[in-house]
Amino acid sequence: MTDAWSLGGKRAFVTGGARGIGRAIALKLAERGAAVAVADAHPEPFSGERYYRLKRRFSGDEEQISTADAIQQLGGHAMQLQLDVADADAVGRAAETARDAFGQIDILVNNAGIVNNIASIADMTAEAWAHELQVNLSGAFHCTQALVPAMAQQGWGRVINISSVAARQPGMGQPAYTASKAGLAAMATPLVLSMPAELRQSMIARTALQQLGTPEDIAELAGFLASEAARFITATAIPCDGGLLGAPAG
């Protein structure tokens, strides 16, 4: 691993980090040196509802202890926050708590997600529809709004949204999930465009990031794709374009 892969000194906030993909991301960020705030509605092992377990997954050793404890046992630095991302006020308080503990947050991973409504639009209640969007889409909005302004002030930050293939290939009986994940994927563009004006002005016109990429930018992605770390990525195109594809024309 090159220095460019290091997250030493960085502080991350991972939603839905108690189990599954969020837990793996939290552990990976910690392994790379980041301190991690694990924010989850059910942060303790086995306390989570089976939100996204369409196929039964048996919890292995990894879930015998909480993610935060697992990180600490590995010599990393972590804290645990009980948080429902659907609750904007609670997100604001959790962001403050994490900032107080870590000094600042540099990396936000919007991972918390549910798919607990399997129904056609005709059969889905308005409440069920609203709840799924509130968690999957508004939850990411709440966290982004709570944490990104400070990142902009710091001059460094990362927001990683965990969407789904459902955003491009809608699943049967998952209209709310599909809509929420497509919205989440689309949320990145306005986020980039909301960078501070002075930063925007200093960049070159056509990309969302308003700067030209370097050969090293491409090399970083290629290095990752070539590595064992990318073993599960196949037959896909990953734009590495500073937001060119997502930027408005003109």
Ligand X SMILES: NC(=O)c1ccc[n+]([C@@H]2O[C@H](COP(=O)([O-])OP(=O)(O)OC[C@H]3O[C@@H](n4cnc5c(N)ncnc54)[C@H](O)[C@@H]3O)[C@@H](O)[C@H]2O)c1
Binding site for ligand X (CB under 6 A): 15-16, 18-22, 40-42, 48, 51-53, 83-86, 111-114, 135, 139, 162, 164
Tell me, rounded to whole angstroms, the distance of Cα 195 from its chain centroid. 18
* Beta carbon nearer to ligand X, 7 or 143: 143
Shortest distance, CB of residue 166 to ligand X, whole angstroms? 7
Shortest distance, CB of residue 174 to ligand X, whole angstroms? 10
Annotated catalytic, 51? no
Of the residues 142, 177, 207, 208, only one is catalytic, namely 177
Shortest distance, CB of residue 49 to ligand X, whole angstroms? 7
Shortest distance, CB of residue 90 to ligand X, whole angstroms? 9
* Beta carbon nearer to ligand X, 140 or 209: 140
Q: Which H, E and C letters describe the chain, residue by residue?
A: CCHHHCCCCCEEEEECCCCHHHHHHHHHHHHCCCEEEEEECCCCCCCCCCCCCCCCCCCCHHHHCCHHHHHHHCCCCEEEEECCCCCHHHHHHHHHHHHHHHCCCCEEEECCCCCCCCCCCCCCCHHHHHHHHHHHHHHHHHHHHHHHHHHHHHCCCEEEECCCHHHCCCCCCCHHHHHHHHHHHHCHHHHHHCCCHHHHHCCCCCCCCCCCCCHHHHHHHHHHHHCHHHCCCCCCCCCCCCCCCCCCCC
* Beta carbon nearer to ligand X, 158 or 168: 168
Shortest distance, CB of residue 203 to ligand X, whole angstroms? 31
* Beta carbon nearer to ligand X, 49 or 123: 49
* Beta carbon nearer to ligand X, 42 or 200: 42
Radius of gyration over every alpha carbon of the chain, rounded to an integer in angstroms: 18
Q: Hey, which residues are catalytic here?
A: 177
